[in-house]
């Protein structure tokens, strides 16, 4: 048996165990808080209902740049049910994580990374599974940390910016800081980058030739730094692009109408 064949072993069982563990861990963190809400008096529940919506319409998640808060939406803390709903959407039911997984896998396949896996459908499948597990673990660790601290996991479109430069600055800064439980004070994105490190480090455990998990973790942090900024910029300016396209289509439709 060659060295390469020894390392090309089935990784999916380990992968799915870790993914399931992340999901269960997040549920364990959130469930006690939700139980307290259920056991609370009905008057208290009625008062907290406006700030504890579980409707997906109030938690928009874009397939390209993730969860965000529109400028016209109220800026209020998430309930535990909201956090769970948002976690499920970002990790399983919206295409964003799958698009991200495929894009990174294509890059890995082209660069033959990791080198111990073949550049064929089998190697591509292993790279897909590894990347998805990495991103799901990253989402899980980040969601658990933000939930315990009560911090904001979404990107908020700038509401007070008066120039393009201010909006760009806002998008960059928000990749490194977030809002605390009061939705006003800024906190460092500790859990986002800890999740990036942890997801990449754990994904290294079943890769061939035993890459250093610490090195992989730091690579995950570096990736989050530039990918996070890019996603925030897309979220910030995508509404303007959509309005411009819609406006151009409307003008074209008016121009095609016959003149009296």
Is residue 156 helix, strand or coil? strand
Q: 134 lies in a domain?
A: yes
Q: Residue 147 belongs to what domain range?
A: 11-21+52-254
What confidence tier does 242 reach under pLDDT thresholds 50, 70, 90?
A: confident
Residue-averaged pLDDT of the chain = 83
Residue with tokens 């969601």: 143
What confidence tier does 252 reach under pLDDT thresholds 50, 70, 90?
A: low
More confident residue, 26 or 107: 107
Q: 212 lies in a domain?
A: yes
What confidence tier does 109 reach under pLDDT thresholds 50, 70, 90?
A: very high
DSSP state of 120: S
Q: 36 lies in a domain?
A: no
Is residue 67 helix, strand or coil? strand
Is residue 50 helix, strand or coil? helix
Q: 151 lies in a domain?
A: yes
Q: 188 lies in a domain?
A: yes
**pLDDT tens-digit profile of 80-105?**
999 999 999 999 999 999 999 999 99
Q: 37 lies in a domain?
A: no
Q: What is the CA radius of gyration of the chain?
A: 21
Share of the chain above pLDDT 70, in %: 73
The Cα–Cα gap between 112 and 127 comes to 10
Q: What is the pTM of this model?
A: 0.78
Q: 99 lies in a domain?
A: yes
Q: 27 lies in a domain?
A: no
Total domain count, the chain: 1
């Amino acid at each position: 048996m060659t060295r390469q064949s020894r390392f090309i072993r089935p990784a999916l069982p380990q992968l799915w165990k870790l993914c399931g563990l992340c999901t269960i861990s997040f549920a364990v963190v959130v469930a006690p808080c939700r139980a307290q809400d259920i056991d609370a008096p009905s008057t208290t529940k009625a008062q907290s209902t406006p700030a504890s919506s579980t409707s997906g319409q109030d938690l928009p998640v874009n397939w390209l740049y993730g969860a965000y808060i529109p400028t016209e939406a109220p800026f209020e803390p998430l309930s535990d049910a909201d956090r769970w709903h948002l976690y499920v959407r970002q990790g399983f039911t919206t295409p964003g994580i799958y698009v991200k997984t495929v894009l990174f896998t294509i890059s890995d396949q082209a660069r033959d990374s990791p080198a111990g896996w073949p550049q064929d459908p089998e190697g591509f499948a292993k790279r897909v599974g590894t990347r998805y597990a990495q991103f799901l673990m990253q989402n899980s660790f980040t969601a658990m940390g933000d939930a315990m601290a009560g911090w904001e996991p979404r990107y908020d479109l700038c509401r007070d910016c008066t120039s393009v430069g201010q909006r760009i600055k806002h998008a960059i800064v928000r990749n490194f800081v977030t809002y605390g439980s009061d939705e006003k004070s800024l906190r460092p994105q500790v859990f986002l980058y800890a999740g990036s490190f942890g997801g990449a480090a754990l994904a290294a455990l079943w890769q061939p030739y035993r890459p250093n998990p610490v090195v992989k973790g730091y690579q995950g942090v570096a990736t989050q730094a530039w990918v996070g900024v890019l996603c925030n910029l897309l979220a910030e300016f995508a509404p303007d692009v959509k309005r411009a396209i819609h406006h151009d289509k409307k003008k074209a439709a008016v121009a095609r109408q016959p003149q009296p």
